[in-house]
Structure 1
Amino acid sequence: MVSVCSIPPKPIKPFESYSLFPNGNDELIESAAVSSRFLIVYSRKKQDTMTGTMYFFNHECKSVLQNGIHQSIPVHHILCDQNANRLYCLDRMRCTIYYHTLPNNLNEIETCMKTRRDFTQFNSNYGAFKMLQNDEILGFYERNECTVHLYDKKTAEKLDDFKCEHFMDKYESWGIIAIRKDNNSLIFKVDERDDHDAANRQHIVYEVSRSTKQIISQIQLNSVFGMIIGPNNEVILGIRQTKDSGIIQCYIRK
């Protein structure tokens, strides 16, 4: 099940929910991303951790390629880069971030997915968890050392290692991280650790300067489950209110 809405500059559209796999199969969605043409979903069978399928849907969440494209290696996270026309994929087992060319129409899907190009390889000791990006930078979060590794998208040159070290005595990070469009700061969402009451677990969203490593701003909330940077550099948070409902909150830098 996915829920879809639109954000400015497009007219705001209320959330609508769709069942991507209505036949009740045992697909487990690992990651999803949206391009200008498609909703792209990587999923696997619940009992299969070694292979999966890349599915393509239109923006009304109707399948455009019924059986998808089988993936012989596990994909743990995907991101669409519309500017570079790339679909980035994180392969933790082979310690690689690679990419496919984004298809512009149905006829290009199979051709684009046949060819993969490596973007970078990383240390096998890294517990790579999630990717993050803006127009110029691609990075990934490494959970063992709570560190973000940042790369130049054009050259694949490594730019920075940025350690998530604030609040980590009582909180932990699961890789929900964003980078501002001006490249000057990172935004982290951290969760109160499991030894606290799960029903009342707190989340902190905070922004840190890349140059000084100091906190610029922070807010404490309950049940933050998603975060992106919007088209005007705003921070957009997805917050669960009940098991079946939630809200979107938008924060604009003054």
Structure 2
Amino acid sequence: MVDDRLNIGAAAQITAAPKISPTPGALQLYPSSKISQVCKCLSIPASDLTTRTSTKTATTTTTLCPVPTTCGNKGVQWAYYQDDAIPYNSIQCSGPYTWDPTGIKSMSPSYTSTTPYIFLDSTGATDVSIYSSTQTFDVTYIALNHRGYIYAEISGDYTFTSSEADDLLFFWSGPKAFSGWTESNADATDYYCGPGATFTVSLLAGQYYPFRIVYVNAESNAYENITITAPDGTVILGATSKGSPYIVQYSCDGTSAPPFPAFGHES
């Protein structure tokens, strides 16, 4: 869908909040994610995993949620479609384009896989590897359908950013990303020669939130560069991501974040 990420300056001191014991010095040697896992095994509630940092002017409290259990579910699912109905790529930058993404809901993809990152730059080639795949793909008149869940490790604003997609990209979050996604209800749209796109959504710690990204390219270069950033500035999905435990295909219990329908059978 967590705190070694807090920048504690030289003047900052770790103090105990009322009814919360100070963090033992030895535990400060380990990442909070590891401590969270141990506490979970010992049945210590996540609400007790609280780090408080005090300065002369302010006190910040961050509640950490344990890293979600993994079961081969990390990464983003994606599907590749080749379709001559993809909008024509005008070299004059005459966007924004219109295109109905719902057409791929019932279309059988040519290829499906998972990826820890979303970045594609064909640099003028027509056949390229997509997301480090072992095979190459023609990127002329294609659509890529991505979907997954954000597990919110901390509450706050999560930001989606797309950098000048070539040709067109849609982003959805929440229930409509799972079912009911259309061109008109996209949370953000980015297009060739456009200014890029940014969308911010407030998420609650410990919850899973579905998201979907559909990218299309017509002729010539294919380019997409996607980033999802947590409230503390950590990039949980980016061009060089190796795989975040907070970006998953589904939850291991199968109910908190149920699996998406099979590609080609979406609604």
Q: Which has the higher strand share?
A: 1
Normalising by the residue count of structure 2, what TM-score does the alignment of the two structures yield?
Answer: 0.22
Structure with greater helix percent: 2
Between 1 and 2, higher relative CO (CA 8 Å, sep ≥ 6) is seen in 2
